[in-house]
Amino acid sequence: MVPPTRAAALLALLVAASSALACGPEAPRPAASERERVLGPFLSAHWRIPAGPQGPRPSGTSEAVATLQPAICGACHPEQYADWRGSLHAQAASPGLLGQLIEGDLSRPQSHRVCMSCHAPLDEQQLWDSDLRPNARFDSELRAHGLLCAGCHVRSHRFFGPPRRDDAPTPPDPPPHGGFETRPEYHESRFCAECHQFFDDPGPTSADGAGGSKPIQNTYFEWLASPQAAEGRQCQDCHMPDRRHLWRGIHDPEMVRAAVDVDLLADDLGGETLRASLLLTSRDVGHAFPTYVTPRVFVSIHQEDAERHEIEGTRVAATIGREVDLSTGTEIFDTRIAPGQSVKLDYSEARVERAASLVGRVTVDPDFHYRGVFSYLDGSLRDPQARALNREAGLQISDSAYVLAEIRRPLPAAR
């Protein structure tokens, strides 16, 4: 059987109904030629994940620091710790993931490790070791922290980070963990590529066979082709401004509103047929909008009455996103917006007599695909703990959709 790659395991995570994933030994690493060309020597080694065990604590290092607990890091880095606690990175080992690791394809040791390699990348967070045996170093509390501080900054009890800022306070002497090694890669987009670019994933083919294929996770190469990359702007400039550890993204309405423009263009609102268009422009998103297969963006135009009730039968709508049929390995559609580009929804419909306004609306559902996954699993999982975690995950995303923009154009009095 073919051993699962990270992409293959993630496909099972996204669509639990897919049961054709083969099993085998530890998943192979991506092709060295592409991955190492992009990452370079330091990151190629740094992101060999799951990371190897930390090993014996070096002399002079406190036992508290050696625990790798984020709260210990927060004692000296309180702002970063506070940011991280509210981030999706801190929730990477989420109930929706952990529930799927108990039962089914992803409960197999090798698939388990593939998923956790990004969601909780330290050896001490792995239930299974590299030989696919129960991991004697496994720490369930550490795993619960997901992508924690040490996941990016610690390897074999060696600490790494970006060059110190000019205005940084003077560190204690001696520093609690012997200082750290500065690396410029922490300021570069390629630092994020190991988990946000599937180097080993050819991706599904387009439904008509004419569109070629692209990885399920293709964010780094989307950025590489963007105007932002041409300007020298890195992932960190938008997602970690001023070195904040928030990693805000599509779940954050204000983050999206700062990068996307919406306008309702009224071509003709005075006649019996209303003509308008809703224009959505990806002005400052440095990758496809949305970049991944889980979110959906819904655009629509409809007529409403004087009480602001939508008039049935007047809605025109479209979906922005990427749909993949994993059972056939086929891309159904990809209507995402490239950086700097726009999509336009045209409206040409008869005016209803009681219509008072024409409304354009953009709704973002960051967790659209997971809603389907968790709904499916709710009826298929048998393990009580898996079912409980799955239902908890469904509740966590129950209100994550939001209206990004709503524009209302009053209609002139009907003639």
Q: How many CB atoms lie within 10 A of CB 190?
A: 18
Is 305:355 a contact under the CB 8 Å cutoff?
A: yes
**Do β-strands 273-282 and 260-268 pair in parallel, antiparallel, or remain unpaired?**
antiparallel
Q: What is the mean pLDDT of residues 56-82?
A: 89
Residue 287 has a pLDDT of 98
Q: What is the mean pLDDT of residues 221-243?
A: 97
Q: Per-residue pLDDT tens for 105-156?
A: 889 999 999 999 999 999 999 999 999 999 999 999 999 999 999 999 999 9
Collapsing DSSP to helix, strand or coil, 333 comes out as: strand
Whether residue 96 has pLDDT greater than 80: yes
Closest CA to 44 of 53, 57, 55, 35: 35
Residue 33 has a pLDDT of 81
CA distance 89 to 329: 29
Q: Per-residue pLDDT tens for 388-404?
A: 999 999 999 999 999 99
Closest CA to 291 of 226, 227, 231, 243: 226
CA distance 9 to 17: 13
Residue 66 has a pLDDT of 85
Q: How many CB atoms lie within 10 A of CB 249?
A: 18
Residue 23 has a pLDDT of 26
Residue 365 has a pLDDT of 98
- CA 250-337-194 angle, to 5 degrees, is 60
The token duo for 102 is 């108990």
Closest CA to 396 of 10, 1, 99: 99
State which H helix or E strand residue 334 sits in. strand 330-334
All residues at 6 or more sequence positions from 214 whose CB lies less than 8 Å from its CB, including other chains: 203
CA distance 59 to 319: 58
CA distance 62 to 177: 7
> Which range is least confidently modeled, 46-55, 170-179, 263-272?
170-179
Q: Please return the burial class of 20, using the count of CB atoms within 10 Å of its CB with bins 0-12, 13-18 and 19+.
A: exposed
Question: pTM of this prediction?
Answer: 0.90
> Which range is least confidently modeled, 1-5, 211-215, 345-349?
1-5
Is 377:99 a contact under the CB 8 Å cutoff?
A: yes
Q: Give strand pairing partners of 302.
A: 359
